[in-house]
Amino acid sequence: ATFADPENHVVLPEIISKEPLGPLVRHGDDQWADIAAWTLNALIAAEELGITRANIEEMAKGTNNPEINRLLGTEGDLGAMFGLDKDWAKRAIQAGGNYGEIFAATIGESTPIGLARGLNAQWTQGGLLYAPPFR
């Protein structure tokens, strides 16, 4: 997308590899590693649970789904496990959206890079993404 003549370049459709790549932090910084990993999990879970930038304020008031309530800090205090407050996941989702929204905005099909979700889709849509439960 940043080449002088991007129309003369393509991303090939073949899957070359599918390593489970994700956030990486400095060795020995366990708290930061936990924060990075659980933030990614929160973004993935938010997409699966239907939490978006557009509806997060309403959902953060509380729902009948305890996993959404725990994720958004209206029930329990998961953030305390790694030194954050109850609203840590809410702020992460507000910053850029859930995982699907971030993918679409940065490298998705409507961007110059134009990638389809493929294996980066939710497990419920034929991809490999899932998050552990928030309990």
Residues 40-57 pLDDT 10s: 999 999 999 999 999 999
The pLDDT value recorded for residue 111 is: 92
Give the global pTM.
0.86
Whole-angstrom Cα distance, residue 97 to residue 80? 22
pLDDT at 60: 96
What CA–CA distance (Å, rounded) separates 77 from 40? 18
Look at residue 1 and tell me whether its pLDDT is greater than 80: no
Q: What is the C-alpha separation between 30 and 117, in angstroms, rounded?
A: 30
Residue 135 has pLDDT above 90, yes or no: no
Residue 17 has pLDDT above 80, yes or no: no
pLDDT in tens, 109-130: 999 888 899 989 999 999 999 9
Instruction: Convert the pLDDT of each residue in 95-108 to its tens digit.
Output: 999 999 999 999 99
Strand partners, 129: 122
Taking only the tens place, the pLDDT of each residue in 70-94 is: 999 999 999 999 999 999 999 999 9
Tell me which of 76 and 18 has the higher pLDDT. 76
d(CA 116, CA 45): 20
